[in-house]
Structure 1
Amino acid sequence: MTPLRTAPPGTVAAALAEAAPLGSFFALTVGGPDTGWRPVGDAYAAGVPDLVDAVARRHAVAEMRIAASIAQLGHAARLWSPVLFCAVAHGVLPDLDGLQKAEDGAALRLPAPRGHRLPRDGDRAGALYHAVVTRHLDRLAAGLRVKVAPGLLYGNAASALVEAARAILAARPDLRDDLTGLLGELLRTGRLDRTGRVVSPEPAFRRRSCCLYHRAPAGRKCGDCSLARPDERPADRR
């Protein structure tokens, strides 16, 4: 992969600040006090037990595989959402190597606004995939303390990516062409390849796996689930 040029900190900070109002998954804290945060890599190595336990309590789930899947999906959304927005709206890739997680929740923080410029004629999909999947989601999957099928976890990653694209498109329809092109490239990259397909321009996705949310006591099948019927009301997994 061709090395990327460093982006000015102010550019990265401005891009992340513009992303934040799009929703809670787009909010990435930058700077501020160090108290209350820990390196996200430590959380991955431990299997993100606080996130899994919080999901289990919130959805009254006894089968921890379900809780681990939903927790991983939510974390994937918190990674993809700001990264995808910054890429298509500003041509910037935030540097997530120093990413931290709140000690008491799912929120994420960058100690400083570091990042790189994404060349329009370069492998943007490869750069985003490496930043999110290779550097984060692969490590999270390796650390989980319960067995969850890789196809399910990377189906979750693709689902979270498409939902991020949908939210961006709703807020910034002017980004459609670039966003659609980058999304398609990402869904053909690495472990995201063959996880599902985009079935309509919203964009709507139909995955080849299931996140297991429908097995929670009050759960239902999600709109992109391989098991869902077209007339079923989609679930809210948050």
Structure 2
Amino acid sequence: MATVGRAAEGRAAEVGPFFALRTGSGDPGAEGYERIGAAYRLTGEGAAAPALRGRVEAVAASLGTDEPRVAASLTFQGLAARVWSLALGPAALSSAVYDLRPDRLWWNPARTAPDDLWWPGTPPVKGEPGGLAGQLADSAYAHLTPLHHAVSRAYRVSDRLLWGNAASALVGSLRVLHDWCRARGLDEAAERAMAVARAQFAYPPLRDTGQLATAPPAFRRRTCCLYYRVPGGGLCGDCVLRR
């Protein structure tokens, strides 16, 4: 499994930093990383964990918004795009999906991709049954479900809005990967990316989040991520408010 994992990791990293994962030896804790699963937990007072709270505050500062709810929504969408990309890239290019468990994946919210996430050693590949689309869902929702709970409870963001963010993030990752594959003549990989991504919209929680078009990949969501409330933000391309 280690050889397959290394091959999947290397090919996906060529697509771009969101599809890449820091690996190799070292001590993540000594470099300011913590296991990402800890960021998905709420404190005893129902507040976000320090790492997640710090990321939300950094996003708010970079966007110039004084609305924590807006920053939390966009933080979730950014992390969702990262999670989907790490699963989708190897699935399309190598027919493999990482088994990046939250209790073993390390995160430094102060860093950017690919150095924000670190798996010491070689990431394992999921081998259980369920097909490639099912394995992709298992890998992604191991992160998205607890992250969704933490953001919705700590920042009072709508459950439906956040799943719309997850859907939008998936299609965004799909577009980047699909275009990259087509530009290099990797038509089979492009179609595989489309198939496993489309399968996610057949079931909750993404089933009712919007309308997915596949030629080329495009999405019109049924909720708004709140980016329009950012000073000078405007509307996203897939926003429900766009006419």
Alignment of 1:189 with 2:203, yes or no, is yes
| Corresponding residue for residue 80 of structure 1 | 84
Aligned residues: 219
| Corresponding residue for residue 203 of structure 1 | 217
CA 1:103–1:73: 2 relative to 1, 3 Å: closer
Q: Spell out the pairing of 1:42-191 with structure 2 (5 A cutoff).
A: 42-46=38-42, 47=48, 48-97=52-101, 98-102=104-108, 104-105=110-111, 107-112=116-121, 113-117=123-127, 122-133=130-141, 135-144=142-151, 145-173=154-182, 174=187, 175-191=189-205
Per the TM alignment, residue 103 of structure 1 is displaced from its structure 2 partner at its CA by 5.1
Per the TM alignment, residue 117 of structure 1 is displaced from its structure 2 partner at its CA by 4.2
* 3-state SS, counterpart of residue 161 of structure 1: helix
Aligned residue type for 2:230: A
Per-residue deviation, residues 83-136 of structure 1 (Å, max 9, x unmatched)? 1011121111101112110153351111232112477xx433222212212x11
Per the TM alignment, residue 200 of structure 1 is displaced from its structure 2 partner at its CA by 4.8
Q: Which moved more, 1:29-38 or 1:217-226?
A: 29-38
Aligned residue type for 2:219: F
Rounded to whole Å, the distance in 1 between the matches of 2:61 and 2:144 is 23
Aligned residue type for 2:90: C
* 3-state SS, counterpart of residue 237 of structure 2: coil
Q: Which runs of 4+ in 1 moved over 4 A?
A: none
Q: Is the 8 A contact 2:194 2:214 kept in 1?
A: no
Per the TM alignment, residue 177 of structure 1 is displaced from its structure 2 partner at its CA by 2.4
Aligned residue type for 2:208: R
Q: Is the 8 A contact 1:91 1:118 kept in 2?
A: no
Q: Is the 8 A contact 2:95 2:132 kept in 1?
A: no
Q: Which runs of 5+ in 1 are unaligned?
A: 1-7, 230-238
Structure 1 length as normaliser, TM-score?
0.86
Q: Which runs of 5+ in 2 are unaligned?
A: 43-47
Per the TM alignment, residue 224 of structure 1 is displaced from its structure 2 partner at its CA by 0.8
Q: Is the 8 A contact 1:198 1:205 kept in 2?
A: yes
Per-residue deviation, residues 209-234 of structure 1 (Å, max 9, x unmatched)? 111111101211111111113xxxxx
Rounded to whole Å, the distance in 2 between the matches of 1:162 and 1:188 is 14
Rounded to whole Å, the distance in 2 between the matches of 1:213 and 1:64 is 12
Residue identity (%): 37
Per the TM alignment, residue 191 of structure 1 is displaced from its structure 2 partner at its CA by 0.6
Per-residue deviation, residues 186-220 of structure 1 (Å, max 9, x unmatched)? 11122111111113512011111111111101211
